[in-house]
């Protein structure tokens, strides 16, 4: 071959290589992906689903609207198994890759689990469930702190087509029982005990108390987290022993795209939590894609999301997203301050974490302890930092970025909800060099179309405007229904603004067209990143025989973001007011969870009500914001003199607090 011809051939090869490279360069592909998602969403998601998921049977329709108002269905006709996508496909390629690093409560005792080991564990657990009669479609409650076995429990359900409902292991027996009964779980999977922050948590005892009132529960599988023995009753099956007897192989159930994968209870504006339902293919695809693009996850990275699996963040970014992508995912069992406030960063150093995803409440807490706890440790492995669950204030954002990330990491404030399945608004992905504005979620993910609505239900155009945040186009990760209450689902999300998904949040669109979340529009509060309905707390307190009426509102809290403030009316003949207050706090802890206990309980004679009997919470909010002299229009109050009463009681309460 003549030199010139060889050079030309080399040139063509190089050209082809460069084109190939530039096609995979983020700069080119983000813009391209975004444009494609906007142009033809069905084609875009269809193509992503074919490329990212392993199917038993290809789907026939990428998306199809629901028959009435409600969620669009995705990838109909397709069949797949989520556990196969999260495990088997990686075991075939690289069985010894680490799937999970269990960062146990005691520093330095981490355990690594490979994909092969996790598949074995999952199959043994799946076979155990099958042996005890758990079948496709049955609901199984998982009441476990984050651990490899908890992940295996979720994946074992997915493998056999059962539906898991993970209940945060900090919820009380009564809250657990309520969720088990609502979803009619056949089985519960738990541990003898848990360990967190050096303290033992009596998980099995709580389950015992709960299942006394759960007729649907036939079996309680009890794994060992500690060496202590706990009482085992008729329903109880020792899980580790059973698993040891089972085969490490279990044929996966081929599931339809729209079969239920899991449900997860979350708070709404009534006292009853909602069982949010997510399905197989759409959820998995959305969790995996957002995990990859928002955090810029690259093969080989160690991904550290410190959320508990009891929340959606743990489902999407500890378990399903990372494992579908074949990542190494960290399971953080401890607390940010155990054994000291350097725990997160010592863990980052020891495990060489590349992406760290956490909650603003923890950041606010840690920044108070000072920079030295961070600087002691090598954080050079970090590339991306993420924040989730509640608004992150400027001070916390700056500290996270400058001190933790040494101003070198991308920090993404990610907005989403239990209902959205995955991140919907976040600064990344975006083109190389695109700015990130502190403390702002900013940009919609591929295919997400945020809109703002005014009071009359009209779309607000233009920038530098605020309104109710809705999403105009369906996306595969969105919840499909509320378990056995589709009407509530439709009413909560699709009725206020017909044709749009209503998030319940309000937002501001900046001059540049970026989104900033400004808060909830309903009676939902966010305590340490945990969602709570004020009505849930009220319902719990109203059960006290001395309490005819309560009103709970959120107020800004330095560390927790929001705290609960309760106004309570006591019966006239109540003498031991202090005692009743303590009892009320105990009731909330036992009916819901400790984090739901109001920080303040203020006894008042009456609540401010309109003539039709509606409590005017807006006024209560103003009073505790010390804006009692500027209450605005109070003419709708049935009896305006109630305000002076409450203001007096509040002033007295404050002076008591100061002296105590
Ligand atoms: C609500 C959803 C997202 C998974 C964990 C919480 C609030 C969430 C942000 C953020 C401002 C946020 C919203 C939302 N929220 N992320 N980055 N900035 N607010 O899920 O329990 O379903 O709560 O949390 O109010 O509606 P969730």
Tens of pLDDT, residue by residue over 14-23, are 333 333 333 3
pLDDT at 270: 87
- Distance from the CA of 1 to the center of ligand 1, in angstroms? 64
Give yes or no for residue 390 CB within 6 A of ligand 1: yes
What does DSSP say about strands 274-279 and 481-482: parallel, antiparallel, or unpaired?
antiparallel
Position 554 in a domain? yes
Q: Which atom of ligand 1 is nearest to the CA of 517?
A: 11
Query: Does residue 334 have a pLDDT over 60?
Result: yes
The atom of ligand 1 lying closest to the CA of 387 is 17
Whether the predicted pLDDT of 533 surpasses 70? yes
Report the alpha-carbon distance of residue 554 to residue 534 in Å, rounded: 8
- Ligand 1 atom closest to the Cα of residue 316 is 4
Taking CA atoms only, the protein residue closest to ligand 1 atom 25 is: 520
Give the pLDDT confidence of 441-491 residue by residue, as tens digits. 999 999 999 999 999 999 999 999 999 999 999 999 999 999 999 999 999
Q: Which ligand 1 atom sits closest to the C-alpha of 312?
A: 4
> For ligand 1, atom 12, which residue shows the shortest CA distance?
390
Residue nearest atom 8 of ligand 1, based on CA coordinates: 389
Does residue 32 belong to any structural domain of this protein?
A: no
Mutate-to-test residue for ligand 1 from 166, 517, 521, highest number of ligand atoms within 8 A of CB? 517
Instruction: Kindly tell me if the per-residue pLDDT of 214 is higher than 50.
Output: yes
Which ligand 1 atom is nearest residue 415's CA? 17
313 lines ligand 1 (CB under 6 A): yes
The finding on whether 397 has its CB within 6 A of some atom of ligand 1 is no
**Judging by beta carbons within 10 Å of its beta carbon (0-12, 13-18, 19+), is residue 576 exposed, middle or buried?**
exposed
Distance from C-alpha of 387 to C-alpha of 408, rounded to nearest angstrom: 16
Report CA(388)–ligand 1 centroid distance (Å): 7
User: Which residue minimizes the CA distance to atom 14 of ligand 1?
Assistant: 417
Check residue 67 and give its pLDDT. 85
> Residue 634 domain-assigned?
yes
b/e code 230-239 from CB counts within 10 Å (16+ = b): beeeebbbeb
Confirm or reject: Cβ of 526 under 6 Å from ligand 1.
yes
Q: Are 518 and 525 in contact, with CB atoms under 8 Å apart?
A: no
- What pLDDT is recorded for position 610? 87
What pLDDT band is residue 508 in, cutting at 50, 70 and 90? very high
Tell how far the Cα of 362 is from the centroid of ligand 1, in angstroms. Answer: 15
DSSP-assigned beta bridge partners for residue 266? 274
In a domain, 286, yes or no: no
Q: Considering only CA atoms, which residue is closest to atom 7 of ligand 1?
A: 390
Ligand 1 atom nearest the C-alpha of 504 is: 26
- The answer to whether residue 591 scores a pLDDT higher than 80 is yes
Q: Is the CB of 312 under 6 A from ligand 1?
A: yes
pLDDT at 55 over 80: yes
Ligand 1 atom with minimal separation from the 418 CA: 22
Supply the range of the domain harboring residue 614: 526-659
As a whole number, mean pLDDT of residues 525-543 equals 94
pLDDT at 21: 38
Q: Domain boundary at 209, 243, 260, which?
A: 260
Whether 231 has a pLDDT exceeding 80, the answer reads yes
pLDDT tens by residue, 606-615: 999 988 888 9
CB-ligand 1 contact for 308 (6 Å cutoff): no
The answer to whether position 497 is within a domain reads no
Nearest CA to ligand 1 atom 2: 417
Of all protein residues, the one whose alpha carbon is nearest to atom 20 of ligand 1 is 417
- Asked which of 196, 229, 260 is the last residue of a domain, the reply is 260
Give me 145's structure tokens: 């702190």
Percent of the chain exceeding pLDDT 70 equals: 96
Tokens in use for 460?
């607000």
Last residue within a domain, chosen from 260, 286, 306: 260
The DSSP call for residue 385 is: E
> Would the CB of 391 count as within 6 Å of ligand 1?
yes
CA distance 366 to 340: 10
> Tokens 């027996």 correspond to what residue?
173
Rounded distance from Cα 313 to ligand 1 centre (Å): 10
- Cβ-defined contacts of 489-495 (< 8 Å, 24+): 489/70, 489/71, 489/274, 490/68, 490/69, 490/70, 492/268, 492/274, 493/419, 494/69, 494/70, 495/69
Averaged confidence pLDDT in the chain: 94
Q: How far is the CA of 391 from the centre of ligand 1 (A)?
A: 8
Q: Please tell me the distance between residue 529's alpha carbon and the centre of ligand 1 in angstroms.
A: 7
In a domain, 583, yes or no: yes
User: How would residue 638 be classed by pLDDT, with cut points 50, 70 and 90?
Assistant: confident
**For residue 15, what pLDDT is reported?**
35
User: How far apart are the CA of 183 and the centre of ligand 1, in A?
Assistant: 24
Which ligand 1 atom is the nearest neighbour of the CA of 531?
21
The answer, yes or no, to whether residue 653 has pLDDT greater than 80, is: yes
CA-nearest residue for atom 13, ligand 1, is: 390
Q: Let me know if residue 430 belongs to a domain.
A: no
Residue 417 Cβ contacting ligand 1 at under 6 Å = yes
Pocket test for ligand 1, best of 415, 445, 450, 525 (most atoms within 8 A of CB): 415
The lowest-confidence range among 23-32, 237-246, 350-359, 645-654 is 23-32
Q: What is the per-residue pLDDT across 547-581, written as a single tens digit (0 to 9) for each?
A: 999 999 999 999 999 999 999 999 999 889 999 99
CATH of the domain at 583: 3.30.300.30
Q: What's the pLDDT tens digit per position in 158-184?
A: 999 999 999 999 999 999 999 999 999
DSSP 148-199: HHHHHHHHHHHHHT-EEEE--TTB-HHHHHHHHHHHT-SEEEEES-EEETTE
- Res 660: pLDDT: 77
Q: Are 153 and 134 in contact (CB under 8 A)?
A: no
CATH no. for residue 183?
A: 3.40.50.980
Shortest-distance Cα residue to atom 27 of ligand 1: 417
Does the C-beta of 450 come closer than 6 Å to ligand 1? no
- Report how far ligand 1's centroid is from the alpha carbon of 343 (Å): 25
Query: 340-344: which pairs have CB atoms within 8 A and are 24 or more residues apart?
Result: 340/373, 341/365, 341/366, 341/369, 341/373, 342/373, 342/374, 342/376, 342/377, 343/107, 344/306
Q: Is 520 in the pocket of ligand 1 (CB under 6 A)?
A: yes
Q: What total number of domains does the chain contain?
A: 2
For residue 13, name the pLDDT band (cuts at 50, 70, 90).
very low
The CA distance from 188 to 143, in Å, is 7
Residue range 61-72, pLDDT digits in tens: 999 998 889 999
Residue to probe by mutation, ligand 1, list 305, 416, 436, 521, most atoms within 8 Å of CB: 416
415 lines ligand 1 (CB under 6 A): yes
Contact partners, residue 80, CB within 8 Å, separation at least 6? 53, 54, 55, 56, 57, 254, 255, 257, 280, 281
Instruction: Compute, in angstroms, the gap from residue 275 CA to the centroid of ligand 1.
Output: 17
Q: Is residue 517 part of a domain?
A: no
b or e along 258-282 (b: 16 or more beta carbons within 10 Å of the residue's beta carbon)? bbbbbbbbbbbbeebbbbbbbbbbb
Dist. CA 554–CA 538, nearest whole Å: 12
pLDDT band for position 633 (cuts 50, 70, 90)? confident
Q: Whose CA is nearest to atom 1 of ligand 1?
A: 417
| Res 9: pLDDT | 43
Looking at ligand 1, which atom is closest to the CA of residue 519? 25
Question: For residue 114, how far is its CA from the centre of ligand 1 (angstroms)?
Answer: 32
Confidence at residue 629, expressed as pLDDT on a 0 to 100 scale: 85
- Is pLDDT above 50 for 11? no
CA 78 – ligand 1 centroid, Å: 31
26-54 average pLDDT score: 90
What is the residue whose two structure tokens read 């605005």?
Answer: 632
């Amino acid at each position: 071959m003549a030199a010139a011809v060889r050079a030309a051939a080399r040139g063509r090869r190089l050209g082809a290589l460069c084109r190939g490279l530039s096609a995979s360069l983020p700069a080119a592909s983000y813009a391209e992906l975004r444009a494609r998602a906007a142009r033809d969403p069905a084609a875009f998601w269809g193509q992503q689903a074919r490329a990212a998921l392993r199917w038993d049977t290809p789907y026939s329709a990428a998306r199809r609207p629901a028959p009435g108002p409600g969620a669009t269905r995705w990838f109909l006709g397709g069949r797949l198994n989520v556990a196969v996508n999260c495990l088997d496909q990686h075991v075939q390629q690289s069985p010894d890759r680490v799937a999970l690093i269990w960062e146990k409560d005691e520093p330095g005792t981490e355990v690594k689990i490979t994909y092969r080991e996790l598949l074995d564990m999952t199959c043994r657990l799946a076979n155990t469930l099958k042996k005890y009669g758990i079948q496709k479609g049955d609901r199984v409650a998982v009441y476990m702190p984050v651990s490899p076995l908890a992940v295996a429990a979720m994946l074992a359900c997915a493998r056999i087509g059962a539906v898991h409902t993970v209940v945060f292991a900090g919820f009380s027996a009564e809250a657990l029982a309520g969720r088990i009964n609502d979803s009619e779980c056949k089985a519960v999977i738990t541990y003898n005990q848990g360990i967190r922050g050096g303290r033992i948590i009596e998980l099995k005892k709580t389950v015992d108390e709960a299942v006394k009132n759960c007729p649907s529960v036939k079996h309680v599988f009890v794994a060992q987290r500690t060496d202590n023995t706990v009482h085992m009753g008729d329903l109880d099956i020792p899980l580790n022993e059973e698993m040891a007897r089972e085969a490490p192989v279990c044929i996966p159930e081929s599931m339809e795209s729209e079969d239920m994968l899991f449900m997860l209870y979350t708070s709404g504006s009534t006292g009853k939590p909602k069982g949010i339902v997510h399905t197989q293919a759409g959820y998995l695809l959305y969790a995996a894609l957002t995990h990859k693009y928002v955090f810029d996850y690259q093969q080989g990275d160690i991904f550290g999301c410190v959320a508990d699996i009891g929340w959606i963040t743990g489902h999407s970014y500890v378990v399903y997203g990372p494992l579908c992508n074949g990542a190494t995912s960290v399971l953080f069992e401890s607390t940010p301050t155990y054994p000291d406030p350097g725990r997160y960063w010592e863990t980052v150093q020891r495990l060489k974490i590349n992406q760290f995803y956490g909650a603003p409440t923890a950041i606010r807490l840690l920044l108070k302890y000072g920079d030295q706890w961070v600087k002691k440790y090598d954080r050079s492995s970090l590339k991306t930092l993420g924040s989730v669950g509640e608004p992150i204030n400027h001070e916390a954002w700056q500290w996270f970025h400058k001190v933790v990330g040494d101003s070198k990491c991308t920090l993404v404030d990610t907005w989403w909800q239990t209902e959205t399945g995955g991140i919907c608004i976040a600064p990344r992905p975006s083109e190389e060099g695109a700015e990130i504005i502190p403390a702002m979620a900013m940009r919609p993910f591929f295919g997400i179309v945020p809109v703002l609505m005014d009071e009359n239900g009209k779309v607000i155009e233009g920038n530098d405007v605020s309104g109710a945040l809705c999403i105009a186009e369906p996306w595969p990760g969105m919840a499909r229904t509320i378990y056995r209450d589709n009407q509530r689902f439709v009413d909560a999300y699709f009725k206020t603004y017909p044709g749009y998904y209503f998030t319940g949040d309000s937002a501001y669109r900046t001059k540049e067209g970026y989104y900033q979340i400004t808060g909830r529009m309903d009676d939902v509060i966010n305590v340490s990143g945990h969602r709570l309905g004020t009505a849930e707390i009220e319902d719990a307190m109203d059960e006290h025989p001395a309490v005819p009426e309560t009103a709970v509102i959120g107020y800004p809290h330095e560390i927790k973001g929001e705290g609960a403030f309760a106004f309570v009316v006591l019966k006239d003949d109540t003498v031991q007011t202090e005692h009743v207050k303590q009892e009320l706090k105990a009731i909330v802890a036992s009916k819901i969870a400790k984090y739901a206990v109001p920080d303040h309980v203020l006894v008042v004679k009456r609540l401010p009500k309109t003539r039709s009997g509606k409590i005017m919470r807006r006024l209560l909010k103003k009073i505790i914001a010390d804006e009692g002299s500027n209450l605005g229009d109070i003419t709708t109050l049935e009896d305006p003199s109630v305000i002076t009463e409450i203001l007096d009681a509040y002033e007295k309460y404050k002076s008591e607090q100061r002296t105590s």
